[in-house]
Structure 1
């Protein structure tokens, strides 16, 4: 999943909301231009984010005078996607998490862009592991991977200092995370560590914690299907860790119903010492949740065991399957210009970075390359003068992430399996005597039933 949901947009809220209910794209508008509805920031983004997009919108339209870009507020929510698609309220261009792409393309809910990607010359440029997420059994491609991340441990430098911890030397093992969480809770009265637990994010983060301990909640059965393996030692250890932080150390805090948005709110407000999420979340923390940059710290997620790895993810720019040919062509132009060129072209990278920096938007947030590591690191050199995020406070992540083995998210019934794990996480956090073995045994059986469908 993606550090979930990016998408919103434009400059004029009235136009954005009107477009959100305009139905399927009708191609050309009254001026003869192709009207293209695009989504980018989630609702709640600050005014500077809209200003930055408005500047980019103008730049694109100067280069493409036959296309009229209309920005829409949009936030990805898997449970409501089908309703939005059926009702015609989706943007023409939007992003979806890697975790949902396979299901969506198999359901015919994404536009085939194989020929367009080939024509642009990107097919052989993408990281093949990432491209697999939008490729069907016949080799057809249904989206443009545009951003990837690895799981990281995010921490509040102010709370570290208040608790007598060194913010430049964050925990490197789960035992050290637990000890730091307890010290933060005792010294500051704030939650030392918390974890997402609802809206499928509990399952997502439990899967990440499992991978970090060498386990996996799912394996390929070798015959085109998947075998549920939720009941494994890595998942048990991850749940035992949550139990101990909550019940033995009293360091978890009092909120056990956090998801991606609410845990970010708690962290940005200074109420939380540490949590795990995608390495790209800094942008949202500052832009959408008002966190002060000087408070932020990022390190790699601790790994335990020979098979341990860091769960990765990201999102994909896709096109609604309901658009006409003219709108599809315009959508490909937009995706190439807005998302892809800055990854490949120095001039495009500098223009994008300058535009964002001029509007006080984050430039230089740590990511994983959707193309090659060499290209990614070269792009950082291109935009060096515009980087405005405190990368020195992210050094523990930047220096160590390449040493960790990336692990992809499970592909079979991903969100449904995550949903099964949410109540397991909640039970451990709300019932001191929760039977972890029994909870996982039942969740494993339920997951296998889903995978067998």
Structure 2
């Protein structure tokens, strides 16, 4: 799940319609669209268009659109800003109102593929030669059991530990170069968080316990304590392990963060993906579990200077286990999209620099994105590769070097340890979002009731999730 993918979503949709935000009045847009259709143009409903509040991003997309008009005059681009939501997407897709291209989370493709809600783009990607350029791990997430492909990646991420450098400085937890002394273990994190709380008054850690993002973060903590939360039995069935000794130990650690160390924000049950960045960016919390693809949230969105944000690796558990949950954001396509519409969408991605194609146009797209980051105070840093062809990797690094606006030492620890072999781990199999939901229920009890029985809560969560898994097989 990108998390970015786990926001409290502001989409309000009827069963058969959805609201798309773009430029100009709806009447003007409808008129322009009808004119384009009469002229025989392919209409590209661009669900990845930024929301109106992201002014600079919209300006960038307007430039991409101009380039698209110049290079593909037979295509009409219809801005159709859309935020994926699990509770409304099915009705959106079945009613025929899904935009041609949209973003989702890497927890979703297999579910959407099995439900027949997205387009098979295998042949189109083969014609373009893109499949061999895609990271094998990403390709597997976007493919069915027969090897058919249903999307392309926007980006990949791995969870790490974002830190507010100002609070680490105030607490005396930086080295002689001003780089935070990132906690190496979860035990160290608790102790460092206590030091920060005592010396600055700010929360040492922002823990999420409002929605599924709480369970999402907790699963990464549990892995470091040696837990496996769900097993794919290989026969269409799954087994839940939410009540394992290791998983319970991880939840008891969370209990201690609240009741032994008292280092969390005032009300974790009010904290979601977005508020966590707000707490970090405004200096209300010193640490937050987050990914490299979300550095704009504490900086651009919440005002933290670029040189006051740093990232370390996820701390190790009691036995040295150190994993980072990896995922990302894929682009997927409406099940009703034509070959022409899908090709138009891929052409647009190429212009944005979000494809494996390296040419002057795609490099300009990457440069525009990097320049936009610099002007908005967003760190320009490395990414985890989705496209692995060497010319793409080299071109991306060249742009990063050209627009670099932060000391790489603020992120070196994160990339070195997180990228080490065996440290990346994909989300658990089964119905992952339902698992997160059950874990969040436990988190809410743990951080609000000092007399709770963690073991019993995890046992109940395990029973509830197993029922969900059993229904999957049926």
Instruction: With the length of structure 1 as denominator, give the TM-score of the two structures.
Output: 0.90
Residues matched between the structures, number: 446
Question: Quick one: structure 1 residues 27 and 292, their matched pair in 2 at CA, closer, same or farther if it must change by over 3 Å?
Answer: farther
Which residue of the partner structure matches residue 150 of structure 1?
Answer: 158
Question: Quick one: structure 1 residues 330 and 285, their matched pair in 2 at CA, closer, same or farther if it must change by over 3 Å?
Answer: same
Q: Residues 421-436 of structure 1 correspond to what in structure 2 (within 5 A)? A: 421-436=439-454
Alignment partner of 1:395 is 2:412: yes
Q: Residues 81-160 of structure 1 correspond to what in structure 2 (within 5 A)? A: 81-160=89-168
Which residue of the partner structure matches residue 318 of structure 1?
Answer: 332
Which of these residues, 181, 198, 203, is aligned with residue 186 of structure 1? 198
Cα pair 1:2 1:313 within 8 Å, conserved: yes
Superposition deviation, residue 315 in structure 1: 1.3
Distance (whole Å) between structure 1 residues aligned to residue 460 and residue 151 of structure 2: 36
Which residue of the partner structure matches residue 237 of structure 1?
Answer: 249
Alignment partner of 1:210 is 2:227: no
Larger mean CA deviation between 52-61 and 247-256 belongs to 52-61
Distance (whole Å) between structure 1 residues aligned to residue 264 and residue 392 of structure 2: 37
Superposition deviation, residue 113 in structure 1: 0.5
Cα pair 1:41 1:75 within 8 Å, conserved: no
Q: Residues 274-313 of structure 1 correspond to what in structure 2 (within 5 A)? A: 274-304=287-317, 305=319, 308-313=322-327
Report the 3-state secondary structure (helix = DSSP H, G, I; strand = E; otherwise coil) of the residue aligned with 2:447. helix
Cα pair 2:224 2:320 within 8 Å, conserved: no
Instruction: With the length of structure 2 as denominator, give the TM-score of the two structures.
Output: 0.86
| Contiguous gaps of at least 5 residues in structure 2 | 11-19
Alignment partner of 1:364 is 2:377: no
Which residue of the partner structure matches residue 173 of structure 1?
Answer: 185
Q: CA RMSD in A?
A: 2.8
Larger mean CA deviation between 347-356 and 137-146 belongs to 347-356
Distance (whole Å) between structure 2 residues aligned to residue 312 and residue 115 of structure 1: 28
Which residue of the partner structure matches residue 15 of structure 2?
Answer: none
| Contiguous gaps of at least 5 residues in structure 1 | none
Task: Note the alpha carbon deviations across 1:358-380, whole angstroms, 9 max, x for none.
Answer: 43254733421123396675244
Alignment partner of 1:451 is 2:459: no
Distance (whole Å) between structure 2 residues aligned to residue 316 and residue 127 of structure 1: 13
Question: Quick one: structure 1 residues 251 and 105, their matched pair in 2 at CA, closer, same or farther if it must change by over 3 Å?
Answer: same
Superposition deviation, residue 340 in structure 1: 3.7
Alignment partner of 1:249 is 2:261: yes
Report the 3-state secondary structure (helix = DSSP H, G, I; strand = E; otherwise coil) of the residue aligned with 1:169. coil
